[in-house]
Amino acid sequence: MLPANLISTLKALSVTDKPLITATPDKGSTDVGKQFEPGQKVQGMVQAQVAPNVFNVRVATQLLQMQLPAFVHSGDTITLQVVSLQPRLTFTLAASSNPVSTPESLSAASRLLSSLSQQPLERSYVRPIQSSPLWTGEKVQPDTTQLAGKLHEALSQSGLFYESHQAQWIAGARPTAQLLLEPQNQLSQGTNARTAQTGNELHATTTNIPEHLQTLVQQQMSTLETHQVLWQGQVWQGQEMRWEVSEDSPHRNAQGVEEGQWITQINLDLPNLGGVSARLSFNGNALNLSLDVGDAQTRERMGNASSQLIAALSERGIPVVHTQITQTIIAQDN
């Protein structure tokens, strides 16, 4: 289960102290401490293993014996940082040439994510991949069923849930064609075309987040942290919509059973009704509906049509347990 304070956890991971490594000089070595100073970084060549996790390590001209983490093996090159000279020569493991699965590489990944979390979020909401409106049908009024499907696709293909979709794809529950529609695969297609790319260049590509995906990764971290998704785009020609989906704390129903609660808020500036905000709170199978408008005339029109809205929702199996229509007066600048 992901922690609620994900970004704080990533920051903690990025500064976690590494274990101290004490070094025992070879019997023939003298004045070992004089060759080092605290804070100095040195390269070590891991040689023979003399006991479980204990190795001879060649550092400069000195042969030292150290107990190293289990992921280090003979033949590895490691970077050590001098911590202290007395009472014993002590190092910490700064980095190594081990594969990407080592704790050092995982720490580097957490530092990268932590760095992204500290940068200003360029855009808190996701936008559709295509600039065209979701609904492009010939009808004056959008087909609500088709528009709902388009909204589902817009969120699903936004890249926010890419890793979850990868897991579904591996399990055979999501087709490849759907996965390829997400922004992360725009990089994959470009990378495959560059067949002449060298190994070092390819490594640099895979260890850094491409610039066009950095905002998306920030949005993913924000979504995990806040349990909230924001989407903004054109739902039909010339009509922008801001859509927010969030998860609220579970509530117990009349039978004492804990039920999840989801909240959806839609903000539209309509040509005939003006600004309209709809807040839908789903608790189990029931719906609480709140509408907020900008003028009294729109509030009256909404009130007169509310019974039709409730009936339409009930026909689709969504019982409405509470309806509220309010008016927010927007202050005018003098």
Considering the domain boundaries, does residue 199 fall inside one? no
Q: Is residue 57 part of a domain?
A: yes
Residue 47 included in any domain: yes
Is 256 inside any structural domain? no
**pLDDT at residue 4 greater than cutoff 60:** no
The per-residue pLDDT for range 71-89, each reduced to its tens digit, is: 788 888 888 988 888 888 8
pLDDT digits (tens, 9 = 90+) for 97-130: 444 445 555 555 566 666 666 666 666 788 777 7
Within a domain: 333: no
Residue 10 located in a structural domain: no
- Tell which residue, 111, 99, 116, 90, has the closest CA to residue 20: 90
How many Cα atoms occupy the beta-carbon half-sphere of 308 within 13 Å? 5
What is the CATH classification number for the domain harbouring 91? 2.40.50
Q: Classify residue 333 by its DSSP letter.
A: P
Name the residue range of residue 49's domain. Answer: 17-96
Mean pLDDT of 146-161: 91
Q: How many domains does the chain have?
A: 1
Residue 179: closest CA among 218, 125, 131, 170:
170
> pLDDT (tens digit, 9 = 90+) per residue, 29-78?
666 667 888 888 888 999 989 988 899 999 888 889 998 887 788 888 88
The predicted pLDDT at position 7 comes to 52
Q: Which of 11-25, 87-101, 226-240 has the highest mean pLDDT?
A: 226-240
Neighbours of 12 (CB within 10 A): 12
Checking if the pLDDT of 196 tops 60, the result is no
Residue with tokens 């993913």, as numbered in its chain: 220
**Domain-located, residue 234:** no
Q: How many residues does the chain have?
A: 334
Cis, bond preceding 87 (omega within 30 deg of 0): yes
From CA 145, how far away is CA 126, in angstroms rounded?
Answer: 22
More confident: 112 or 326: 326
3-state secondary structure of 256: coil
Alpha helices in the chain (DSSP H): 6-14, 103-118, 144-156, 162-170, 176-179, 184-193, 199-207, 211-226, 296-315
What is the helix (H) or strand (E) element at residue 96, kind and residue range?
strand 90-96
What is the value of pTM for the model shown?
0.60
Examine residue 178 and state whether it is found in any structural domain, yes or no: no
